[in-house]
Amino acid sequence: MVIHDVAIATRDSKLRYLCISLMEKLGLDFVVCAPNESTCGSAKCTIALNEEATELEHHNNRAVLIDDDFDADRVGISVMSMLYDLNNPTFTSIGVDPGMRYGLALLLDGLMVYSSICPSPRKAAAITSHWSRIVSQLFPTAELVVRIGTGSRLYLTLYLRELENTGIERIVELVDEHHTTLRGESDISSAALIAGRRGTIFHGSPLPLDYKTGYIRSLKKYIRRATDDTKKLSTENAKDILSGSSSIDSFLESP
């Protein structure tokens, strides 16, 4: 019998579509079936609606049950932790690799179970906060640490400002990125290495950024890349971002 990673066991067409898209993104082998079909028994993990749980005759003890409000991150983290048999991890860490693209990785007891790449410090901070809430709900007894690479003072500080605005209440550590960025490796690989490395506990608010020529040049390049050259950042706008009176996301969202 073929053993699949996941059985998408629901009659809800919208949920099936969302789950299929997520499983393809995660690179998992899956089968689609009704909750009461024996095919569900050929999977290591089952996804179904809460209201369909009573129909799960197979693998009900290894099921990810969800409501109508589909949260891809929550489902993905739940599925991956189940596939890795990490039902009760003791230590979890979120690694962040700051830069013109932010790589994020979630480790449970040292194993990477979930990752993301996003284009801005505000989105990276929002993902960090969201993952933190999910992990706290799924594994309430596990210790959680957010670890951030210090390779770029500029993009680290912009991220810390946004993280502070989320009101996240977690241990935050700053990690030396030496040997975390190797030739051919991705932002996610670097984030995973950062998540697995102990750093220095960060206290207080982010330090101010000077109006360095290199910072201003980097921000201008960032905006050009992020907008496919449709927006240009002036030196004054760059200084506003460096001072904290404005943000990258605010500039990108402005008309």
Residues 160-215: pLDDT tens digits?
A: 999 998 988 889 999 987 655 554 446 899 999 999 999 999 987 777 899 999 99
- Whether 167 and 226 map to the same domain: the answer is no
pTM as predicted: 0.91
In a domain, 207, yes or no: no
Domain that includes residue 230, residue range:
213-253
- Whether 190 and 103 map to the same domain: the answer is yes
Q: Which of 106, 112, 169 is nearest to 135 (CA)?
A: 106
Classify burial at 35, counting beta carbons within 10 Å of its beta carbon; exposed 0-12, middle 13-18, buried 19 or more: buried
- Whether 156 and 138 map to the same domain: the answer is yes
Could you give the 3-state DSSP secondary structure of residue 74? helix
We report the CATH number of the domain holding residue 64 as: 3.40.50.2300
Q: Which of 19, 50, 83 marks a domain boundary?
A: 83
Q: Which of 180, 201, 222 marks a domain boundary?
A: 201
How many domains does the structure of the chain reveal? 3
Q: pLDDT > 70: what percent of the chain?
A: 94
In a domain, 95, yes or no: yes
- Whether 109 and 136 map to the same domain: the answer is yes
We report the CATH number of the domain holding residue 146 as: 3.30.420.140
Could you give the 3-state DSSP secondary structure of residue 207? coil
Between CA 174 and CA 146 the distance in angstroms is 9
